Structure 1
Amino acid sequence: MNRKTLVLPAVVGLLAPVLVACGGTQGGSAGGDAIVVGTTDQFIATDDAPAPLDPAYAYDTGSWSVLRQTVQTLMHAPRGGGAPVPEAAQSCDFTDKVSESYRCKLRSGLKFADGSPITAEDVKFSIQRVLDINPDSGTASLLANIDTIEANGDEVVFHLATPDATFPYKLSTPVAAILSKEKYEGKKLREGFQVDGSGPYTMKTETKDGHVSKVTFTKNPNYLGDIKLRNDKVELRSFADADAMGKALESGDIDMMTRAMSPEQIKSMSENPKEGIELTEMPGLEIRYLAFNTNDPSVKDKAVRQAMAAVVDRGHIAGKVYGSTAEPLYSLIPASIGAHTNSFYNKYGEPNRKKAAELLRKADITTPVKLKLHYTTDHYGTGTAKEFEALKQQLNATKLFDVTIEGTEWSKFVPAQKRGEYAVYGMGWFPDFPDPDSFIAPFLDKGNFLNTPYVSTEARELIPLSRKAADRTSASQAFTQIQEIVANDVPFLPLWQGKQYVAARSGVTGVERVVNSSSDLQLWELGHGGDA
């Protein structure tokens, strides 16, 4: 790759994988059987979201974890992290000096899992399909900068509307999956749970009461790409909660559990290791935040949002609810990304009721301000309810707010949020790729995934400006300005940044590489006792 696709900014402060506990027993799938992995991610098809695993629609960590096993993209993140490398492509490069024309040459002999050949026209079809469908999930925003696509023989050329040094990263996301015209319609989402692609695995789902209970991934004999598989089969089982998943690990019914382990489980495994089970801590870039429907009368005046920012005690929430697994966050960009600034702390400082009261008084806002805070009960783990209870207590203790909270299951929470039914709601974010852009554009750019009514013209001018920088460290000034805009207008209120953990039975190898920094599963890394 040429100088236009150098490694994006240094990610500092990330922890190397840390293992806790050791034992000598084998897991429940020792030998040549499938490696069994547990998750609390729920895969549900509803009237509002009938195509949860269509790459053109899927935009959550759980769905992406399924897609990364089964579809192929032109680029992908290398095993050790860093800039994307070719996957379905043999090579990809910017062909100009301003990062506006990106050319990829396909590997020779590429096939879909059913044996049919992959052509440049398939790549063009797949990318154009996302833009044509343009679902309300926000996936199309990742590819919206594409002006035209050329397919010539074994080459695909993307002409961008504006320079974008982050484009190779976007081509490494499941949104840019290569699909077959025979299996997917060009302007319609594919409903249900089946995924067909050319990735390292094929998949088969089992459902119960409209939910996916198990996904079986089997080695794809027609796969041709950069990924090395260390197993032939993996089962991904979905559990209702972390406790049920933990019991399955202890009994040997599963070999590993992933997100979302509860803070209590992590603390227990750290302090009282169990024979035969290892806890692994890995680098993570997850953030949690409050989002505001700035058209709602209760929070339309930014003084209300600013007052909340002035009194919320992030340290108390992180420490009381999540312990050592979370750290206070004062920007949408995590502290472990180079362009981060403590913009909220710089503006509001430590929790200060007097400052909040003055903000509300100057805006002539009657107190206490009545608000309902919404959260999802089954998507981010069991700590979410406790987190919102702590938020309610903090805000109500000031006597400036009269807050109630309400939890809703994820399948109903997301459609209601997108319809604008919530004035204030809690969300988590796992980046599409490890660059500051992935913590800014999805929130503030046109077509953002939250469908937020908030618009900052200045921020939307700075976003394309930041993308011109091939050396991502030189984009810091633009990101600093954007973070200051967010701290002043408070369309989002960052709360904390989390670490990520998995726990596995002894004898399972590759555990320290099974989750990337964006929290997507890389199940091909798992093995039984052999080379990791």
Structure 2
Amino acid sequence: MKKSRGLMLASAVSATALVLTACSTSTTGGEGEGEGGSTVTVGTTDKVTVIDPAGSYDNGSFFVMQQVFPFLLSYTPGTAETEPDIAESADFTDPSTYEVKLKEGLTFANGNELTASDVKFSFERQLEIQDPNGPSSLLGTVESIETPDDLTVQFTLNRENDQTFPLVLAGPAGPIVDEDVFAADEITPDQEIVDGEAFAGPFTIDSYSFNELISYKANPDYQGPLGEAKSESVQMRYFADANNMKLGLEQGDIDVAWRSLSATDVEDLEGNDELTVHQGPGGEIRYIVFNFDTMPHGAESDDPDEGKALAIRQAMADSIDRETIADQVYKGTYTPLYSYVPEGLPGANESLKDLYGDGNGAADEDEASKRLEDAGVETPVDISLQYNPDHYGPSSGDEYAMVKSQLESTGLFNVDLQSTEWVQYAKDRTEDLYPAYQLGWFPDYSDADNYMVPFFYDTEESPSFLANHFRDEDINTKLAEQGSITDEDERAEAISDIQNDLAEQLPTLPFLQGSQIAVSGNDVTGVDETLDPSFQFRLALLGK
């Protein structure tokens, strides 16, 4: 067994869940109860990176993990609240110790026992591997893990009463894996995981063709709170583009389209009497990341100049017209975002609106020009901007074409716009290949902390997920301290203050906030039930 290993990231937060109620826009009447025993086919344009929990921190990969891996805690459907999953109980026994008692008789699909040893192994390997595309940054408060017996796991945390820790256990860092199948110090290939039947979630994987087709089969030994899956099997089809997925839905080849149809497609499908458009609460944000080393005048560029690099980021912020992008590209399914924490969460503000553009949310070419001139930046600035055409939906091309157009219309920028498919994109962005690039975020839990700590808390021991060479010790300290503030108003003020600091430096440029949308045949049940504030799509709830 591996020895426990601490990670010295002092980030802890109190949980203030964003409680939103899923809503549905329907072309016909409401849903009934699924009868079970049938097969539901779901389509997506999303992509899997790897299904090893230590090696990916993206929505497409975590989607698979949610269906097949067990979690200590999971979200109660319809809420952002956690409940025991394979745990019998879970709570603080003292301010620094979070103790989990496992249910008895747990097994993986391969017959191996699931014990406290597997739990300890699962979290320690993430901290050991620290894959740049993995979620290990979420485990920053874990100092050590002990297993007094086969059913008990004790997490010692370096922040007292870390109320977001239960939310972390239910998110991308939380899947429990089989220590007899997974490697302790490297990413385990997908096919080895499938062949090893290392599953104990609502489903097992019956067959696996990478980013083409996954056949899920209901797990008869699943002991979690979702109960028996509403469908005996689910087919997950991966489409190259939204047009083909839409066609498959209209022709009845798939029952549900989930991530991502274009806004125009959704608008069109709302008029189809045989389909239902479902909309759930939003927490997704879309933003541009700046690489502080390789962007124009970055630290490793031919002409490094911190002041000029900052002026370029600020001038880009002055030049983006969020409202036009939201209306023309996304038909109102996204709304403008003017800060780092989305509207609706405690502590959210509009710091970017006050600092950039005309001060009221619109672009301001004159302000952008003045910033560059005052910093001595020669114009037009040549900037390389990368986006992904498949992971964040089919409208990404139109979105970034409009960003390019808005920047170039000022006469201040020449934009070299390029795209890369997601699997390669996820690797390239952490290897300094993109001076500026698109990312989106689907929250792990509904708290402002999750929109800041993974991106902007950066130390040698715990590098940020962005890997964009932004590091600010004052922001590191503030991010850690806000987690120990128990007074809600005081914590909200601290969160707002951090956003103001980030807005001054612009390590990223957020500009859109979106909602969850799925389209299904009228005979499919359970879609509205899973479009909830947890932002987790549960195949086990789907039936027809």
When the two structures are superposed, what TM-score results if normalisation uses the length of structure 2?
A: 0.89
Measure how far apart 1:327 and its partner are: 0.2
Question: For the residues of structure 2 that align with 1:472 and 1:151, how far apart are their CA atoms?
Answer: 34
CA contact (8 A) 2:283 2:443 kept: yes
User: Is structure 2 residue 361 aligned with structure 1 residue 355?
Assistant: no
Deviations 1:352-380 (A, max 9, x none): 12211221122111111111211012211
Question: For the residues of structure 1 that align with 2:265 and 2:528, how far apart are their CA atoms?
Answer: 18
CA contact (8 A) 2:145 2:153 kept: yes
User: Is structure 2 residue 487 aligned with structure 1 residue 482?
Assistant: no
Residue aligning to 2:7 = none
Residue aligning to 2:56 = 58
Residue aligning to 1:38 = 43
Question: For the residues of structure 1 that align with 2:189 and 2:297, how far apart are their CA atoms?
Answer: 36
User: Is structure 2 residue 158 aligned with structure 1 residue 161?
Assistant: yes
CA contact (8 A) 1:76 1:86 kept: yes
Matches within 5 A, 1:48-197: 52-97=50-95, 100-153=96-149, 154-163=151-160, 164-193=162-191, 194-195=193-194, 196-197=198-199
Residue aligning to 2:527 = 511
User: Is structure 2 residue 327 aligned with structure 1 residue 315?
Assistant: no
Measure how far apart 1:470 and its partner are: 4.9
Letter of the structure 2 residue corresponding to residue 205 of structure 1? S
Letter of the structure 1 residue corresponding to residue 392 of structure 2? Y
CA contact (8 A) 1:299 1:423 kept: no
Residue aligning to 1:47 = none
SS of equivalent residue, structure 1 residue 274? coil
Measure how far apart 1:187 and its partner are: 1.4
Residue aligning to 1:453 = 469
Letter of the structure 2 residue corresponding to residue 503 of structure 1? V
Measure how far apart 1:426 and its partner are: 1.0
Flag the 1:86–1:471 CA change in 2: closer, same or farther, 3 A. Answer: farther
CA contact (8 A) 2:322 2:512 kept: yes
Flag the 1:468–1:9 CA change in 2: closer, same or farther, 3 A. Answer: same
Question: For the residues of structure 1 that align with 2:418 and 2:109, how far apart are their CA atoms?
Answer: 44
Flag the 1:343–1:124 CA change in 2: closer, same or farther, 3 A. Answer: same
User: Is structure 2 residue 15 aligned with structure 1 residue 16?
Assistant: no
Measure how far apart 1:89 and its partner are: 0.7
Letter of the structure 2 residue corresponding to residue 357 of structure 1? S
Residue aligning to 1:343 = 351
Residue aligning to 1:212 = 211
SS of equivalent residue, structure 1 residue 324? coil
Question: For the residues of structure 2 that align with 1:498 and 1:299, how far apart are their CA atoms?
Answer: 32
Number of corresponding residues: 507
SS of equivalent residue, structure 2 residue 398? helix
Residue aligning to 2:539 = 523
Deviations 1:110-161 (A, max 9, x none): 2212233221111111111111111111411111321111101221110012
Moved over 4 A (4+): 23-26, 470-474
Measure how far apart 1:214 and its partner are: 1.2
Deviations 1:47-83 (A, max 9, x none): xxxxx11011121111111110100111111112133
Question: For the residues of structure 2 that align with 1:191 and 1:437, how far apart are their CA atoms?
Answer: 31
Measure how far apart 1:520 and its partner are: 3.0
Deviations 1:383-440 (A, max 9, x none): 1111111111111111111222111111222222111111111111111111111100
SS of equivalent residue, structure 1 residue 372? strand
Question: For the residues of structure 1 that align with 2:14 and 2:163, how far apart are their CA atoms?
Answer: 10
Question: For the residues of structure 1 that align with 2:349 and 2:383, how far apart are their CA atoms?
Answer: 29
Letter of the structure 1 residue corresponding to residue 338 of structure 2? Y
Aligned-pair Cα RMSD in Å: 2.2
Deviations 1:152-193 (A, max 9, x none): 122111001223321111111242211112111211211124
Using the aligned pairs only, state the percent identity.
34
Question: For the residues of structure 2 that align with 1:282 and 1:24, how far apart are their CA atoms?
Answer: 15
Measure how far apart 1:8 and its partner are: 3.0
Residue aligning to 2:293 = 295
Q: Please, which of 498, 517, 531 is the counterpart of residue 514 of structure 2?
A: 498
SS of equivalent residue, structure 2 residue 77? coil
Instruction: Give the stretch that moved more between structures: 500-509 or 187-196.
Output: 187-196
Deviations 1:274-308 (A, max 9, x none): 12111111112111001100122505320110111
Question: For the residues of structure 2 that align with 1:10 and 1:175, how far apart are their CA atoms?
Answer: 18
Residue aligning to 2:306 = none
Gaps of 5+ in 1: 45-51
Flag the 1:468–1:6 CA change in 2: closer, same or farther, 3 A. Answer: closer
Instruction: Give the stretch that moved more between structures: 507-516 or 356-365.
Output: 507-516
Residue aligning to 2:232 = 232
Question: For the residues of structure 1 that align with 2:364 and 2:375, how far apart are their CA atoms?
Answer: 17
Question: For the residues of structure 2 that align with 1:67 and 1:402, how far apart are their CA atoms?
Answer: 41
Flag the 1:55–1:25 CA change in 2: closer, same or farther, 3 A. Answer: closer
Letter of the structure 2 residue corresponding to residue 38 of structure 1? G
Question: For the residues of structure 2 that align with 1:38 and 1:465, how far apart are their CA atoms?
Answer: 42
Letter of the structure 1 residue corresponding to residue 181 of structure 2? K
Measure how far apart 1:19 and its partner are: 2.4
SS of equivalent residue, structure 2 residue 476? helix
CA contact (8 A) 1:61 1:520 kept: no
Measure how far apart 1:472 and its partner are: 5.3
Gaps of 5+ in 2: 1-11, 299-308
Residue aligning to 1:49 = none
Question: For the residues of structure 2 that align with 1:469 and 1:416, how far apart are their CA atoms?
Answer: 37
Question: For the residues of structure 1 that align with 2:171 and 2:487, how far apart are their CA atoms?
Answer: 21
Measure how far apart 1:25 and its partner are: 13
User: Is structure 2 residue 447 aligned with structure 1 residue 435?
Assistant: yes
CA contact (8 A) 1:24 1:275 kept: no
Flag the 1:470–1:71 CA change in 2: closer, same or farther, 3 A. Answer: farther
CA contact (8 A) 1:286 1:499 kept: yes
User: Is structure 2 residue 334 aligned with structure 1 residue 329?
Assistant: no
CA contact (8 A) 2:54 2:134 kept: no
CA contact (8 A) 1:104 1:157 kept: yes
User: Is structure 2 residue 379 aligned with structure 1 residue 371?
Assistant: no
Question: For the residues of structure 2 that align with 1:42 and 1:356, how far apart are their CA atoms?
Answer: 37
CA contact (8 A) 1:291 1:493 kept: yes
Measure how far apart 1:235 and its partner are: 1.2
